[in-house]
Amino acid sequence: MPQGLIAKLFFSVLLVTAFIVIAMGFAARVTFNQGFLGYLSKQEEIRLKETVPLLADAYRAHGSWRFIRDDPQNWMVLMRPANLPDHPTAEDVERTALSVSDLTGTPMRFTLLDAQQRYVFGNPKTGLGAPKLPIVVDGRTVGWLRMLPFQRVIEAGDLAFQQSQHRGFFIIGVCALLLAALLTIVVARSLLSPISQLKRATDAVAIGDYTIRVHENTRDELGQLAKNFNLMALVLESNEKMRREFVADVSHELRTPLAVMHAEFEVLEDGIRPIDIAAIQSLKVEATHLSKLVEDLYQLSLADIGALIYRKSEVDITELLRTTTKAFQKRLIQADITLELKLPQSPLTIDADEKRLRQLFANLLENTIRYTHAGGRLSIYCMQLEDQVAIDVMDSAPGVDDIGLERLFDRFYRGESSRNRASGGAGLGLPISRSIVEAHGGTIEARHSKLGGLWLVIRLPIGDA
């Protein structure tokens, strides 16, 4: 199996998974900053507004901010969270300060400024851009309260909660990538195993091994592909077998008349047989047979590549059957075969090639003369059935078995009773007949005849084929 395909699938799925993990991490970070931290910042702004009145009351009671400088615990009391007691102990203040430190990364997030916005107490690093509110006592601004936003704490990397969240996202992302890599390997091998089998099978077909098959163990597209491959291999195997049989049959059929002619020439050359009319006629018969065989092969080759020329025009099937059977009348009498011809009284016209149809009917008559026993019958019926012309050709014994009916239109096929060259032909007449019928858009079918022989059912369309 080419590893390149597995590698491509592996890295493709891995890159998609990595992209999803990174996108989810980025979205989680944005959601955390704008959602959770934004919520905390809004809560602190509310606390900022609630603390300003407390500082104003404290300033009114002491008259200045010195009480905070002298005793920092007063600042912690004023800025205490809601859960701090009204009279906290040192342990309560320390505990609250540590909890705030754990949450924000700094002991104090508020800064107290005097009326001139000079630093008094609190976090000295809040900056000018931090939110602030004026502390007003009796209509006079006595100070300012400034708050360090949560975002700045985050940017400084001092928030332990955010760090833990980021570590969690990182661990989840790494686990997702590892799981995706493992599943990709399993899925890749499962999906690509049939493809590997198909590749080996196609390599075998490429070098001429048409007997190979692949397992059809799935019902998906790969299973259908395997099924189609097996069907293709079966057809190729059948075609290869037919090709070999065809070459063998052609060689046999050509060799026989050539051997007879060669023997005739030898006896004439050696003077064993005089050159007379009988000798010439014997050579002529073999030459005619050879010429007919070559012409039939040529016609079949043209039919295979679709190069047979059909010059269609209006043809009266009734008249064509009448004249063709008349031309075979003498040979039918010599073979002691009785002809029964039933044709419609009025002309039956179709669009067809007259020369090819005459060749079709001649092949059928020739087939009957070659194979039907003496004293037999030949019945030909022609009629119109809706938009078709029905032509039925039935002869008497000998018949054809069921296997023979299926192979009757195969090239060089001849039933056991007709393999003798004295009576049988080369087995090309019916295949040529089928190609002519199909070229006219019709059908031809072989059945058992009621007379004990062969029944050929021909249907040709009326109008343009």
pLDDT digits (tens, 9 = 90+) for 183-209: 777 777 776 777 778 888 888 888 888
Distances (CA, A) of 227 to 139, 188, 213: 93, 21, 9
pLDDT of res. 326: 92
For strand 338-342 and strand 377-385, is the pairing parallel, antiparallel, or unpaired? parallel
**Confidence at residue 91, expressed as pLDDT on a 0 to 100 scale:** 55
Domain identity same for 135 and 231:
no
Residue 77 CB: number of other CB atoms within 10 A? 19
What pLDDT score was predicted for residue 109? 72
Q: Are residues 48 and 138 in the same domain?
A: yes
Look at residue 129 and tell me if it is in a domain.
yes
Cβ distance 340 to 372 under 8 Å? Answer: no
Would the pLDDT of 361 be above 50?
A: yes
**Quick check: is 204 in a domain?**
no
| Whether pLDDT at 105 is above 50 | no
At residue 389 the predicted structure's pLDDT band, cuts being 50, 70 and 90, is very high
Q: Would you say 226 and 216 are in contact if contact means Cβ atoms under 8 Å apart?
A: yes
pLDDT at 94: 46
321 vs 154 pLDDT, higher one: 321
**Looking at residue 458, what is its pLDDT?**
94
pLDDT more than 70, % of the chain: 76
* CA–CA separation, 16 and 437 (whole Å): 59
Q: Is residue 203 part of a domain?
A: no
Q: How is 164-226 classified by DSSP, letter by letter?
A: HHHHHHHHHHHHHHHHHHHHHHHHHHHHHHHHHHHHHHHHHHHTT-TT-------SSHHHHHH
Model confidence over 237-284: pLDDT tens digits? 887 887 777 677 677 667 777 887 888 888 888 778 787 887 788 788
For the cut 70, the answer to whether the pLDDT of residue 160 exceeds it is no
Same domain, 455 and 320: yes
Q: What local confidence, expressed as pLDDT, does residue 317 receive?
A: 92
Instruction: Report the alpha-carbon distance of residue 81 to residue 409 in Å, rounded.
Output: 102
Task: Establish if 121 belongs to a structural domain.
Answer: yes
Alpha helices in 305-353 (DSSP H): 317-327, 329-334
pLDDT of 414 over the 60 cut: no
Mean of the pLDDT values across residues 361-375?
89
381: CATH: 3.30.565.10
Quote the number of domains for the chain.
3
The answer to whether position 171 is within a domain reads: no
Give the angle 93-96-97 at the CA atoms, nearest 5°.
85
Residue 167's pLDDT is 75
In a domain, 276, yes or no: yes
Among 235-244, 296-305, 437-446, where is mean pLDDT lowest?
296-305
Q: Is residue 177 part of a domain?
A: no
Among the candidates 280, 304, 328, a domain finishes at 304
Residue 416 has pLDDT above 60, yes or no: no
Same domain as 322, residue 285: no
Do 363 and 254 sit in the same domain of this protein? no
Q: Does 369 lie in the same domain as 281?
A: no
Verdict on whether the full-model pTM lies above 0.85: no
What's the pLDDT score for residue 84? 47
Q: Given this model, what pLDDT does residue 138 score?
A: 87
Q: For helices 429-439 and 277-304, give the axis angle rounded to 10 degrees.
A: 40
Give the confidence band of 99 by pLDDT, cuts at 50, 70, 90.
very low
For residue 396, the 8-state DSSP code is E
Q: Which of 459, 430, 462, 439 is nearest to 360 (CA)?
A: 430
Domain termination residue (choose one: 121, 155, 189): 155
Tell whether 272 and 324 lie within a shared domain.
Answer: no
**If you write DSSP's letter for every residue of 15-65 in order, what string do you get?**
HHHHHHHHHHHHHHHHHIIIIIHHHHHHHHHHHHHHHHHHHHHHHHHHSSS
Average pLDDT, the chain: 77
Query: 39-43, 68-72, 454-458: which range is least confident on average?
Result: 39-43
- 342 is written with which tokens? 């039933």
Instruction: State residue 257's pLDDT score.
Output: 75
> Could you tell me if 64 and 151 lie in one domain?
yes
Same domain, yes or no: 317 and 297: no
In a domain, 360, yes or no: yes
| Amino acid letter, residue 145 | L
pLDDT of 145 higher than 80: yes
What is the residue range of 389's domain? 313-461
Nearest to 76 by CA among 102, 103, 58: 58
pLDDT the model gives residue 402: 80
Residue that terminates a domain, selected from 155, 181, 210: 155
